[in-house]
Each structure stands twice: as C-alpha cells, then as structure tokens.
C-alpha cells in the first residue's frame, strides 16, 4: 500500500457493512453467483476537510495477481454507500467493465478488500481510469483511509 504511505497524516476510517462483518463470508447476493451488486458500506470518521471519497475493491488471492473488482471516485462525502448504487464515477475493473464486479474466485476461498479513501479534492479523471491510475491520482490527496475485508468461496 505504498500510495497510503505518502499520506502520512491520514485519519483511519471505520468501514462496516450491514451485508457482512469484517473477516466473514460475503453473501452470494453480492457475487457473480448472485445478483452481482455492491453491498452497502458504512463509513465513520470522515475528516471534515474531505471533498470526495474513492473506493477500490480488489482480491489479492487471484491466481494471476491482484484482481480489481470495483474502482469509483468523486463519490460525494457520505457515511453510507447504498447497496446496488453507483455512488460516483466508475472506472474500469479487471472484468473490463465500468461497474462493480462481485467476487467470483475460480477455486478456494479468497479475500476481498473494500477500501475507502477520503480525499481533499475532486478528481478530474476520464471514465477509462483503472486502479493503478486512480491510486496515482489520489496518492497526494488521501486524508482518510479504511477497509473492510470479506471472504468468498464458490459452491460450484
């Protein structure tokens, strides 16, 4: 997480969900085996200086390396991201889609990190932006960060 190291004085955000608890299984509804919609996220501890939020959801356990499931930015500052809701501008995930792509591991149990960033700016990025480009753009603007980890294993 070298992009976070640059933001020395960021505040820790408390990220939770009504859909699953930290370290627990993500319900099928939020995966490729279900409705494939994003779960709700609750965000506590957002600094007053925040101008926008960004979200990155990825799976570091994917066979070919970290797999990106969701990239979104310019999310209005809020303490609640609704289920099945596009909160801001969505970039390109590793499914080559501009939307949330739920957990869909080929085998075994994988970890999914729902990372939320509080930023001191509104970003001017094209819709084709991917995770690496977003991380570069936010690296000097992170004033808060938190994550929620969920697990998923397919039954197929």
Write out pLDDT tens, residues 56-115: 999 999 998 999 999 999 999 999 999 999 889 999 999 999 999 999 999 999 999 999
* Residue 83: domain span: 2-142
Q: Output the pLDDT for position 156.
A: 67
Within-domain flag for 68:
yes
The total number of structural domains in the chain stands at 1
Q: Output the pLDDT for position 8.
A: 56
pLDDT over 50 at 6, yes or no? no
pLDDT digit string, tens, across residues 113-150: 999 999 999 999 998 999 999 999 999 999 999 999 99
pTM of the model: 0.93
Q: Which of 11, 137, 112 is nearest to 60 (CA)?
A: 112
* Average pLDDT of the residues in 31-60: 97
CATH code of the domain covering residue 7: 3.90.280.10
Q: Output the pLDDT for position 103.
A: 97
Within-domain flag for 155:
no
Residues 117, 123, 126, 127: what is their CA dihedral angle, to the nearest 10 degrees? 40
Burial class, 110, CB count within 10 angstroms (exposed 0-12 / middle 13-18 / buried 19+): buried
* Average pLDDT of the residues in 36-55: 97
């Amino acid at each position: 997480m070298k992009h976070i190291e640059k933001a020395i004085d960021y505040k820790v955000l408390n990220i939770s969900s009504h859909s699953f608890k930290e370290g627990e299984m993500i319900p099928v509804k939020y995966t490729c085996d279900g409705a494939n919609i994003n779960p709700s996220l609750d965000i506590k501890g957002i600094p007053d200086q925040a101008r926008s939020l960004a979200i990155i959801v990825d799976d570091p356990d994917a066979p070919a390396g970290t797999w990106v499931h969701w990239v979104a930015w310019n999310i209005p500052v809020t303490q609640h991201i609704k289920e099945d809701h596009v909160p801001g501008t969505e970039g390109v995930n590793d499914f080559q889609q501009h939307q949330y792509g739920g957990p869909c591991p080929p085998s075994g149990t994988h970890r999914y990190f729902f990372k939320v960033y509080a930023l001191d700016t509104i970003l001017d990025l094209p819709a084709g932006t991917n995770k690496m480009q977003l991380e570069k753009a936010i690296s000097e603007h992170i004033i808060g960060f938190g994550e929620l980890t969920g697990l998923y294993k397919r039954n197929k």
